[in-house]
Structure 1
């Protein structure tokens, strides 16, 4: 029987042989023309290993076979543009385009710049509508299915973000546009997002803001969009005499934004045309803290408990939309509180203030704008006194 010392020596000898074999297999194959640690008289392809009859180069070739070739496939932008084209195809009042064309009386921009601003503002507005409909669980937009109801939330959100970011690219492609234009676009977009954040927070927490808080929120949404139009046009204009009138432009669009938004809140609960396009009193389905709701809650604590209580229970997915009978009851509560009457009175005040702001701007610049005059008159004259519920 071999001794333990003999077994140990035999194990070490076999281990040494195995290590030598592994080292031989794993020796790198030198590149052509490169110096080799192997004797120059012996080529790597001639060196045999201890494993079968294969050379190390044979083993490397087997382990590194060429990768298969694939045809390159280029995907177009049709998927991301489909929701964009859909929202653009829906009927619109084109208020923002009207403002651009009417104000060009003062800024005198080229057709290329005017069309570009209308395109940028329209896309920014449409992107905000896509996101707004998702955030408010709205199923109709301008009488048609909301964009996310056609393409799904994920694709709609992706396309809305694309439209917002792509606006910067569009602006950057315009000639003779300085950094002031990009600053106006970026700052305006930020202001829109901040304004929307308060609207969403009040709705989520069922908080009824004061009239002053509501107006500040509107200034950050509707007013900020109109202000963005004016400051984009100003940044591209060479009419430097308009510099001294910018505070008058700012006042006009701020009042116009307030009037437009309060009017929209009022018409949603009063105008049958809105019911045809968006559904009967759709703002109540959304649980929207609109101006008539704020006026109601601030005037009558009992009415506030009823309205906010229904909004709270409406968060149950099974209660969507609200039954028509429930919405009629809410309209009666709002009516009894005097909120529709006070909203009507606010619209008369805002309409007059907006008209006066336009006249002040026209007087300061020495130029009248028939386009803005016609638009503001239309907005004022199409608001009817409140119905009794």
Structure 2
């Protein structure tokens, strides 16, 4: 029996302003799945946001801080969805990575979509909220909307540039020692890739604060480097990391050029690390070489000194960033939440 089907074409062709879709859409499942998994570092990015605000910016509206924190969280979790695919990671935070559950195509689309949702929230939600919370202020809304979107765009560019270098060095690892990146090259890449979330905190807080502060971007850059150097060290030495990642020495298995691995390759010509990275063609092949992975970590610990180099660099940067924080704070920073978090990160 044929039935007439009425389609309301008028509603379909109405213009749509921005992304206004139901939050429970199935295409966002990979993001919601990852978002629900507790992080490895007890919400360290939110704690950094609060710590920066307490010491430098003094924004008193919790609603505004929560909105900034949400944007940073969306940006971060979106990058993790894509990162796990690019690294062929099977686990994230101790559970299967989103793409292993929802598939690569949907997870890529979801991660990219959430980047733009974060951008839209920064461009529209933040300025509107700031105006509502400060009705007595003369606010140039167009200027604030442009500046918030520019902040997100700048850091998305930095993230993808840094991540691109990280992938390139991994997938096209130079066979000639002299062609390997310098340690300074690696740290510059990290500044782009990992420093972005710290710069986002500082830039957004600064835009919506009435206080004048010194240039804090160098602190954000160094904190990003500290965070990644610590992660590089823990990836090869921590049993907790091994459990959360689902494998010991994940960076070695991925063929990643982390700081201790790069140091080892630059300061030795024959080692288990060379054998693992140059004679195996895939992460699956490397994963099966359990003894060679253990030998590589032992070599970096006892022979090349690469793990000590990484730990010493972390401690050196720890002292440097404490000096920078003390020099830029208008009040005594010794007991500040910011220094407490930095001390906890560097206390290995």
- Fold agreement, TM-score > 0.5: yes
**Residues 366, 316 of structure 1: alpha-carbon distance in 2 compared, 3 angstrom cutoff:** closer
What is the aligned counterpart of 2:304 among 337, 347, 352? 337
Which residue in the other structure is 2:45 paired with?
Answer: 96
Matching of residue 163 in structure 1 with residue 114 in structure 2: yes
Which residue in the other structure is 1:58 paired with?
Answer: none
Matching of residue 87 in structure 1 with residue 59 in structure 2: no
Q: TM-score w.r.t. structure 2 length?
A: 0.83
The structure with the larger Rg is 1
Which residue in the other structure is 2:261 paired with?
Answer: 293
Q: Report how far residue 330 of structure 1 moved.
A: 1.4
What is the aligned counterpart of 2:156 among 180, 189, 192? 189
Q: TM-score w.r.t. structure 1 length?
A: 0.74
Q: Report how far residue 188 of structure 1 moved.
A: 1.2
Judge conservation of contact 1:219–1:254 (CA < 8 Å) in 2. Answer: yes
Which residue in the other structure is 1:238 paired with?
Answer: 210
Q: Report how far residue 173 of structure 1 moved.
A: 2.4
Q: Report how far residue 144 of structure 1 moved.
A: 0.6
Which residue in the other structure is 2:15 paired with?
Answer: none
Structure 1: distance between partners of 2:306 and 2:339: 29
Judge conservation of contact 1:127–1:160 (CA < 8 Å) in 2. Answer: yes
SS class of match (1:331): helix
Q: Report how far residue 257 of structure 1 moved.
A: 1.2
Structure 1: distance between partners of 2:154 and 2:70: 18
What is the aligned counterpart of 1:326 among 292, 299, 303? 292
Structure 2: distance between partners of 1:318 and 1:269: 18
What is the aligned counterpart of 2:90 among 139, 142, 156? 139
Matching of residue 373 in structure 1 with residue 339 in structure 2: yes
In the alignment, structure 1 segments of 5+ residues that lack a partner are 1-66, 384-389
What is the aligned counterpart of 1:78 among 21, 25, 41? 25
Structure 2: distance between partners of 1:378 and 1:259: 12
Bigger Cα displacement from structure 2, 333-342 vs 128-137: 333-342
Question: What is the CA deviation profile of residues 143-201 of structure 1, one whole-angstrom value per residue up to 9, with x for unaligned ones?
Answer: 11111111111111111011100012212123136022221111111111111111111
Which one scores higher on RCO, CA 8 angstroms, separation ≥ 6?
Answer: 2
Matching of residue 261 in structure 1 with residue 228 in structure 2: yes
Which residue in the other structure is 1:173 paired with?
Answer: 125
Q: Report how far residue 108 of structure 1 moved.
A: 2.6
In the alignment, structure 2 segments of 5+ residues that lack a partner are 13-20, 132-140, 175-179
**Residues 361, 84 of structure 1: alpha-carbon distance in 2 compared, 3 angstrom cutoff:** same
Structure 2: distance between partners of 1:191 and 1:367: 33
RMSD of the alignment, in Å? 2.2
What is the aligned counterpart of 1:282 among 243, 250, 253? 250
